[in-house]
């Protein structure tokens, strides 16, 4: 089961990146009208991101690359080693920040007190910052040799 969840977590990263690019493009193209389609693309992004969060939390607490590393090496050694620190602190922190931004985007997309143009502008920035934070926090294969671009189920 763990391997399946790991593959899912790995695959959903691509879905999130694609959905962020779609949402960013829609904010740029439909500047003045926030349509129900814009709302449903936001919803797709929020749902997929929260599924990734749940799988990630499971991996963090029950897999080999989260709390298990703190138990095995102690927090002091974890903080001194860049790879261990990435898995215990950096991946988690970066992704939680991105997920908070995406969750805030959902409230903005529902807001009725703002003009559509303002809504698109705010959403554009939330999506763009979230995309950069995610790209910076993903364990890419050029940084971690054991991590593939696509993991099979």
Our finding on whether 106 is near ligand HEM (CB under 6 A) is: no
What 3-state DSSP class applies to 10? helix
Cβ–Cβ contacts within 10 Å for residue 126, how many? 24
Nearer to ligand HEM, 11 or 116 (CB): 11
Our finding on whether 64 is near ligand HEM (CB under 6 A) is: yes
Our finding on whether 89 is near ligand HEM (CB under 6 A) is: no
Our finding on whether 133 is near ligand HEM (CB under 6 A) is: no
Cβ–Cβ contacts within 10 Å for residue 88, how many? 22
Separation in Å, CA 65 to CA 51, 53, 57, 79, 125: 19, 15, 11, 14, 32
The residues binding ligand HEM (CB under 6 A) are 6, 9-10, 13, 16, 49, 52-53, 56-57, 59-60, 63-66, 91-92, 95-96, 98-99, 134, 138-139, 147-148, 151
């Amino acid at each position: 089961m763990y391997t399946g969840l790991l593959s899912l977590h790995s695959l959903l990263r691509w879905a999130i990146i694609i959905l962020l690019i779609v949402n960013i493009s829609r904010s740029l193209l439909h500047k003045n009208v926030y349509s129900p389609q814009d709302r449903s693309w936001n919803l797709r992004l929020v749902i997929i991101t929260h599924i990734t969060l749940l799988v990630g939390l499971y991996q963090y607490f029950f897999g080999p690359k989260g709390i298990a590393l703190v138990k095995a090496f102690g927090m002091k050694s974890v903080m001194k080693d860049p790879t261990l620190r990435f898995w215990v602190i950096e991946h988690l922190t970066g992704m939680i920040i991105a997920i908070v931004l995406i969750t805030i985007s959902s409230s903005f997309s529902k807001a009725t007190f703002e003009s559509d143009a303002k809504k698109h502008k705010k959403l554009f920035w939330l999506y763009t910052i979230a995309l950069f934070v995610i790209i910076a926090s993903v364990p890419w294969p050029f940084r971690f040799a054991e991590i593939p671009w696509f993991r099979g189920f």
